[in-house]
């Protein structure tokens, strides 16, 4: 039944072109009814009662964990974006590494700036910097764009507060501190491997700077600056790193305090400030003050930028919530346990299965978020026997995340965004971006397998 459900999901997304949220919800209802769940169990009753339906528990349980994190993280990223933080970060790194190592500087910019901002926003903000670096050197734009894209893609797939890993952590009950730690441990080597490939392909395929996109980016930047903030001095690098690093450090401290220290008032304080909700709120207020109020922003400008940043989040939350519904239906109907038994009989480790399922879903329908939330719902029953520690569960999440970025091609919106923004032909995008994503996926998964042997 689960296999038929996944097949139906792919059919609705790929052939029917149904919006992923609607497709996931439809498949959840079909699988639930076909598996023997009653209408009352699945949807509840018209008269409100204390009983919570499977659909309500799946949607509410998932969004209750991630909606606040994604909302706060999105607003934080928007303030960093509009304040000129990306330009300041890349400029300092370019000056530090010099012209010869400009690709490395672009890669580090992608990693650091990619933590608080979505992948597509990172491309929009940082593409002009890539154009400038490629124009100065006269070399292929691939040499500068691909390292940047590797950093943005890795952080978007592997690290909170991005929707995929946060959603998977909620579905599998994993502390975000462990997801950050394991995601970074697997993601950094993956990015280094991707940079090696970027240097190789960038020296062999010449792609000129797209002049039409340079002009479009200049106009878009002017519009954003006019709406967001007055002209101001460049943002200090230390300020940027402090704002981005604050929630990560607080969350990690809370994670390890629960492991190292016995229950006490001090541990409770650390865990309070290290809760993702609190840590991201603190970082957002720091950004409001250090990048906004102190640099001349009005409270109205801060409100405008924050509110505008939340507009694209609705679709993400609905897709993730529907993925939670699908997982809840699989569990309530008993399909998930049957699926887990089938996978157990195959003899493959759960980490390998998680990566393979995620790869198949990613390649088939294109969306990394759909691949992550669907895979997490499928593998959750295999992890419910209590034999897995928090670090081991975090590695399963990273394996899922690694699979979700494998072989980006023409059914992925990111493929066309990369092709358009950097003026790369479809053929060269397949040879550069698609392979780059596969390198990130395979190397990240390889590191996960090594870590799983020692954790």
Does some domain include residue 68?
A: yes
pLDDT score of 224: 45
3-state DSSP of 42-71: HHCCCCCCCCCCHHHHHHHHHHHHHHHHHH
Does some domain include residue 43?
A: no
| The two three-digit tokens of residue 318, written as one number | 């609905």
pLDDT score of 261: 79
Find all residues with CB under 8 Å of 330, minimum gap 6, and list them. 2, 5, 31, 336, 339, 377, 378, 381
Does some domain include residue 237?
A: yes
Q: Is 349 left (phi over 0), alpha (psi -120 to 50) or beta?
A: beta
Residue in 444, 431, 429 with CA at minimum distance from that of residue 164: 444
Residue that the structure tokens 């304080």 belong to? 269
Does some domain include residue 232?
A: yes
Yes or no: say if 279 and 250 are a contact pair by the CB < 8 Å rule.
yes
Does some domain include residue 44?
A: no
What ranges make up the beta strands (E) of 173-278?
A: none
Render 282-350 in DSSP notation, one character per residue. HHHHHHIIIIIGGGT--HHHHHHHHHHHTTTHHHHHHHHHHHHHHHHHHHHHTHHHHHHHHHHHHT--H
Q: 379 lies in which domain range?
A: 2-37+52-452
Q: Is 84 left (phi over 0), alpha (psi -120 to 50) or beta?
A: left
Yes or no: say if 226 and 80 are a contact pair by the CB < 8 Å rule.
no
Alpha carbons 42 and 59: distance in angstroms, whole number: 12
Does some domain include residue 42?
A: no
- Between vectors from CA 24 to CA 377 and to CA 167, what angle results, nearest 5°? 40
Yes or no: say if 283 and 246 are a contact pair by the CB < 8 Å rule.
yes
- Into how many domains does the chain fold? 1
Residues in the chain: 455
Does some domain include residue 283?
A: yes
The pLDDT profile of the chain, 455 residues, written as one tens digit per residue, is 667 777 888 788 778 888 888 888 998 899 888 888 888 888 876 555 556 788 888 888 878 878 888 889 889 888 887 888 877 888 888 888 887 888 999 999 999 999 998 888 888 888 888 888 888 889 999 999 999 999 999 999 999 989 899 999 988 999 999 999 999 999 999 999 999 999 999 999 999 988 776 665 555 555 444 544 444 567 888 898 899 999 999 999 998 887 777 888 888 999 999 999 999 999 999 999 999 898 888 888 889 888 888 887 888 888 888 888 887 887 787 766 676 666 666 677 899 999 999 998 898 888 888 889 889 988 887 887 668 899 999 999 999 999 999 999 888 888 988 998 899 999 999 999 999 999 999 999 999 999 999 98
Find all residues with CB under 8 Å of 19, minimum gap 6, and list them. none
Does some domain include residue 46?
A: no
The pTM (predicted TM-score) of the whole model is 0.84
Structure letter (DSSP) for residue 134:
H
């Amino acid at each position: 039944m689960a296999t038929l459900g996944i097949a139906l999901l792919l059919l609705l997304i790929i052939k029917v072109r149904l919006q992923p949220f609607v497709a996931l919800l439809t498949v959840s209802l079909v699988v639930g009814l076909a598996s023997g769940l009653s209408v009352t169990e699945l949807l509840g009753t018209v008269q409100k009662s204390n009983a919570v339906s499977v659909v309500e528990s799946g949607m509410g349980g998932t969004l209750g964990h991630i909606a606040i994190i994604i909302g706060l993280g999105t607003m934080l990223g928007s303030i960093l974006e509009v304040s000129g933080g990306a330009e300041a970060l890349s400029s300092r790194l370019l000056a530090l590494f010099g012209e010869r190592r400009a690709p490395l500087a672009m890669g580090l910019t992608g990693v650091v700036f990619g933590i608080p901002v979505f992948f597509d926003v990172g491309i929009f903000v940082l593409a002009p910097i890539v154009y400038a670096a490629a124009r100065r050197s006269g070399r292929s734009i691939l040499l500068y764009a691909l390292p940047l894209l590797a950093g943005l893609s890795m952080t978007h797939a592997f690290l909170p507060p991005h929707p995929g890993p946060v959603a998977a952590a909620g579905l599998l009950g994993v502390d975000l501190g462990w997801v950050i730690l394991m995601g970074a441990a697997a993601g950094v080597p993956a990015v280094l491997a991707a940079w090696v490939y970027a240097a190789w392909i960038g020296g062999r395929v010449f792609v000129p700077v797209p002049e039409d996109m340079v002009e479009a980016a200049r106009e878009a930047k002017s519009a954003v600056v006019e709406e967001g903030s007055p002209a101001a001095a460049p943002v200090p690098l230390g300020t940027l790193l402090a704002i981005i690093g604050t929630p990560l450090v607080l969350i990690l401290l809370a994670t390890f305090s629960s492991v190292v220290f016995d229950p006490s008032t001090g541990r409770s304080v650390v865990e309070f400030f290290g809760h993702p909700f609190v840590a991201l709120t603190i970082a957002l207020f720091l950004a409001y003050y250090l990048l906004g109020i102190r640099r001349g922003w009005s409270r109205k400008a801060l409100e405008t930028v924050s509110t505008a940043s939340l507009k694209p989040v609705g679709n993400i939350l609905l897709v993730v919530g529907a993925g939670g519904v699908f997982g809840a239906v699989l569990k309530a109907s008993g399909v998930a346990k049957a699926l887990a038994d089938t996978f157990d009989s195959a003899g493959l480790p759960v980490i390998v299965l998680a990566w393979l399922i995620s790869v198949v879903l990613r390649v088939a329908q294109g969306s990394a978020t759909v691949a992550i939330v669907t895979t997490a719902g499928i593998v959750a029953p295999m992890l419910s026997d209590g034999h897995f520690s928090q670090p081991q569960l975090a590695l399963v999440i990273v394996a899922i995340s690694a699979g979700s970025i494998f072989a980006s091609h023409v059914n992925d919106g990111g493929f066309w965004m990369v092709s358009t923004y950097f003026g790369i032909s479809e053929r060269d995008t397949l040879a550069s971006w698609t392979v780059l994503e596969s390198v990130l996926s395979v190397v990240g998964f390889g590191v996960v397998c090594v870590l799983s042997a020692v954790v």
